[in-house]
Amino acid sequence: MASSVKVQTWGDDLRLPCFLSPTGLLTDVETLRRHSQPFQSKHLPALKRNIWFVMKRSAENIRPGLVVVWPAMKCCVYISGDTPTQKRPEPRVALLRIRIDPQFLADGTGLTVFSATLSSATRRLILDDTLMWKGRRVFETEIFSKRWNRAVQWIEHYCLLDPRLMGGLEIEMARWESLDHLQPENTWELQPDEVGRKRLVWIANHTMHSSPSLHESPVTSAPVLESGPLVAKASRDSGPEQWNLISGDGVVLGKALIRTLAVSTAMRSAKGDTIHVEVSWNRTFSKWEILGLSDSLVTANVAKFEASK
């Protein structure tokens, strides 16, 4: 069980106290991590048929992750969703100094988990969904609007937020809006008001000035910002360490960027000329970066956490 805490820098001079070895907690919440799926033309009928909510993504650097009420340690934490590296193979877990209703911390009470994003630039931690409520996996049993109301209820009635206690960090709800009343652009996420449905992410072309109509097929290219890992197809090129990327909807994403030896080794040993990979837009190099084989990152982390127990 984690006990040691050390203050660490998260960027833009944001410093938060972090647990050094929160292995047990990471194992408990690993299956709750969710990545947005790239929006494809096959999703258009569902957009016209079902109720959807849309959330714009700003251009600032943000970290997707989880906010967890942790009864075993009588505290609330934020678990970063950063891509694992050799220097930091496990997600960081920051202690959030929040006064929480004792019923959420009582012995025998299960975890309460929210999906969230952290912006070190604006000092904001933004909740956007409820995944678990007192040990119940509500993502699999409740529609999105009800899960959303749970998160709002938690902020407004079950905790006391004091930015001074959290080093200037503020917690707020994400600004979801109805797709019927919003004409988004650049990068945005779509959440259906259904049970257990994954979120979609739309990444607009740089040259587009407005979003497409629901009768048009979207075009995916260089995004304005990173919005978590996406799945793409990688095909071998003629040169060594060269891969071409294609989105699930058949749009060419260009040459892939590979920055780590682990990913390079995994790609070379993969069977076949075309494989599925997880990619994320790298603003520094203006290319799509391969993070690993599809699902391999999550599988590797789960195995690592299980082995360390």
Which residue did the predictor score with more confidence, 206 or 272?
272
pLDDT at 206 over 50: no
- Return the percentage of the chain with pLDDT > 90, whole number: 19
Instruction: Let me know whether 165 and 240 are in one domain.
Output: no
Instruction: List the beta bridge partners of residue 292.
Output: 278
Q: Which domain holds residue 23?
A: 5-34+61-174
pLDDT at 237 over 50: yes
Instruction: Let me know whether 88 and 234 are in one domain.
Output: no
In this prediction, residue 186 carries a pLDDT of 67
Confirm whether 204 is domain-assigned. Answer: no
Domain boundary residue among 156, 174, 192? 174
Confirm whether 215 is domain-assigned. Answer: no
Q: What is the mean pLDDT of the chain?
A: 76
Please answer whether residues 280 and 83 qualify as being in contact, where contact means their C-beta atoms are separated by less than 8 angstroms.
yes
In this prediction, residue 160 carries a pLDDT of 86
pLDDT band at 224 (very low <50, low <70, confident <90, very high): very low
Angle at the Cα of 21 from the Cα atoms of 19 and 26, rounded to 5 degrees: 90
Confirm whether 87 is domain-assigned. Answer: yes
Most confident listed range (42-51, 181-190, 260-269): 260-269
**Are β-strands 5-9 and 15-19 bridged in parallel, bridged antiparallel, or unpaired?**
antiparallel
Confirm whether 277 is domain-assigned. Answer: yes
Instruction: Let me know whether 150 and 278 are in one domain.
Output: no
Instruction: Let me know whether 26 and 159 are in one domain.
Output: yes
pLDDT at 27 over 50: yes
Confirm whether 185 is domain-assigned. Answer: no
Domain boundary residue among 127, 155, 174? 174
Instruction: Let me know whether 17 and 113 are in one domain.
Output: yes
Instruction: Let me know whether 163 and 26 are in one domain.
Output: yes
Confirm whether 189 is domain-assigned. Answer: no
Instruction: Let me know whether 67 and 169 are in one domain.
Output: yes
Instruction: Let me know whether 237 and 168 are in one domain.
Output: no
Please give the model's pTM, rounded to 2 decimal places. 0.64
In this prediction, residue 300 carries a pLDDT of 42
Domain boundary residue among 174, 196, 218? 174
**Count of domains forming the chain:** 2
Confirm whether 39 is domain-assigned. Answer: no
Instruction: Let me know whether 144 and 18 are in one domain.
Output: yes
Instruction: Let me know whether 18 and 133 are in one domain.
Output: yes
Q: Which of 100-104, 176-180, 205-209, 284-288 has the lowest mean pLDDT?
A: 205-209
In this prediction, residue 299 carries a pLDDT of 38
What CATH number is attached to the domain comprising 68? 3.30.470.30
Confirm whether 48 is domain-assigned. Answer: no
CA dist., res. 221 & res. 214, Å (int): 18
Q: pLDDT tens for residues 75-125?
A: 999 998 776 667 777 788 999 999 999 999 999 999 999 999 888 888 889
**b/e map 264-288, b = 16+ CB within 10 Å:** eebbeebeeeebebbbbbeeeeebb
Q: pLDDT tens for residues 242-286?
A: 888 887 656 677 788 888 888 888 888 887 778 888 887 776 776
pLDDT at 68 over 50: yes
Q: pLDDT tens for residues 140-169?
A: 999 998 999 899 999 988 988 887 888 888
Instruction: Let me know whether 120 and 239 are in one domain.
Output: no
What CATH number is attached to the domain comprising 292? 2.40.50
In this prediction, residue 51 carries a pLDDT of 77
Q: Give the closest residue to 292 by CA, choosing from 254, 253, 266, 255.
A: 266
